[in-house]
Amino acid sequence: MLIIFALFLAPLIARAALYWMSSDGRSWRTADWSSTGTLPKAADYAPARLVIYSGTTGAWKGIFSVHSWVVLKRANARTWTRFDVVGWGTPVRTNGWPADGRWYGNMPEVIADVSGAQAEAMIPKIEAAVRDYTYRNAGDYRIWPGPNSNSFTAAVLRAVPELRTTLPPNAVGRDFRDGFYAGYTDSGTGVELNLYGLAALKAGWVEGVEVNLLGLVAGLDLRHPAVKLPGFGRIGFDLPVATAATR
């Protein structure tokens, strides 16, 4: 009980206290969703490109989780295409917000950024994963334990394990599985035991060592030393942005 409290409950209590003392976005209507200007205009950038983002969500959900989304463009495309999953209406949304927009006013973090021929090779796999996403119909979205926005992005990443990356540990819903799963981790660099995303164990080069309890993740990143705690995600060395050339 003390271990569970120290690893899973105490971090959430601390994160909740920080949230209530902060000015983080509380309202969907008043939050800033504008572009951060970190992506060039698609017409000014000829190569294919793939970017995976995550941003701290707003209101009480920000205590627990981030939101993630996928942005891509084929070579010489004149526009970016952004894919998100949301909890109202038809879950999968295309270009609902600026490609590099803030999420609830929060500056997004880049998880992966791939350009050129490597991105061009990945994009058809990602488009197929978006098109074939199992939980794309109205009523399929479930905030906890999933399938939610992070379950969607995790499904996309499973389509391109050569990217060798994973969503942040506080991307609640990323571990959702429809039943019991035993096999490789999403990056293909480790092994995983998982029951509906409610309880899971992972050990791998990219994922490190993780314990999932009720969708909350605690663990260690051994490749880029850091601890993983519910609410806070990673605490330690910054995780480099993943590219297909990075191992």
Q: Is 200 left (phi over 0), alpha (psi -120 to 50) or beta?
A: beta
And the tokens for 141?
């979205």
**Is 151 in contact with 85 (CB distance < 8 Å)?**
yes
pLDDT of 220 reads: 97
pLDDT of 24 reads: 65
Q: Where are the domains of the chain?
A: 2-236
pLDDT grade for 174, boundaries at 50, 70 and 90 = very high
pLDDT 10s digits, 79-90: 999 999 999 999
Axis-axis angle for helices 116-131, 149-158 (nearest 10): 120
| pLDDT of residue 25 exceeding 80 | no
Cα distance between the two ends of the chain: 37
